Amino acid sequence: MSGPIQGHRLAATFAQTKAENRAALITFATVGYPTPADTADVVRALLAGGSDVVELGIPFSDPLADGATIQHASQIALEQGTTLKMAFDVVRDLRAEGVETPLVFMGYYNPFLHYGLERVVTEAGEIGLDGFIVPDLPPEEGQEFGTLARSHDLDLIPLLAPTSTESRIQANVQAGSGFVYCVSLTGVTGAREQLSATLPDFLGRVREHTDLPLAVGFGVSRPEHVATIAQLAEGVVSASALINVLDDTPAARRYAALTDLVREMREATAHGQ
């Protein structure tokens, strides 16, 4: 069932968080992890903690931009037969429950390509998905997918790295929409102790080329990290740290612990501290 703002949920969410003078908190769940049956409950736990956007990680056999945590989660999910179709089913179920929070797929290109790009965007549009983050699809390769996504009011969210040159920043932000995913460091995903010192400079370079909201991810594992980034950007992404909670907490307390960490992060999102 389509809500009244489908296709523009991401823009509406960033407008809302801006009005509340805070950054949007973007959280992550690997579809099929810990088990396929758990996925919707994991997302519900993320939403209960106050997530503004949820990324659903589509597992892939060869996740070359991911660190050990998400690699492992992807592998376990695939061993249990997780498919892209299951990810669509999770979104459909959540929308049927009345969830209006923006939901995006984060996944490598090949499973989408294999499913059929036209079929992916058509189904995504029908069930109320909001967009895609595809870490191995730079704008020079993503024109076809981008055009198809836009025709269904879906955002193809651009990714930028500290190594991105001015011309690449420009090409990426022009090709994408929704928000700009700024990779905080030169490296793969995964929880880290400290944030990169060069982040403010990097975000400054990106801002010269776009009015889209900037969200910072990779290495964001603690509420303190969220608080620091909230002073610099319109969004904060945390992923591996949330999977670590699922791994480190006894099953009975798993969802409560996840909601607690998300809530602490959400409370750290205020701008101007």
**Which residues have a catalytic role annotated?**
55, 66
Q: How far apart are CA 161 and CA 206, in angstroms?
A: 10
Q: Which of 25, 11, 16 is nearest to 261 (CA)?
A: 25
Among 187, 209, 263, 267, binds other proteins (CB under 8 A): 187
Closer residue to other proteins, CB minimum distance, 4 or 81 = 81
Closer residue to other proteins, CB minimum distance, 12 or 113 = 113
Among 12, 161, 175, 270, binds other proteins (CB under 8 A): 161
**What x-and-dash track marks residues 107-136 binding other proteins by CB under 8 A?**
-xxxxxxxx-------------------xx
Q: How many residues touch other proteins (CB under 8 A)?
A: 41
One-letter amino acid for residue 34 of the chain: P
Closer residue to other proteins, CB minimum distance, 85 or 98 = 85
For other proteins, the binding residues in 52-71 under the rule CB under 8 A are 60-68, 71
Does 140 bind other proteins (CB under 8 A)? Our answer is: yes
Q: How far apart are CA 62 and CA 52, in angstroms?
A: 29
With contacts defined by CB under 8 A, name the span among 4-12, 26-34, 185-193, 264-272 that binds other proteins.
185-193
Closer residue to other proteins, CB minimum distance, 7 or 219 = 219
> Minimum distance between the CB of residue 239 and other proteins, rounded to whole angstroms?
15
Interface positions with other proteins (CB under 8 A): 60-68, 71, 75, 78, 83-84, 108-115, 135-138, 140-141, 159-165, 168, 172, 183, 186-188
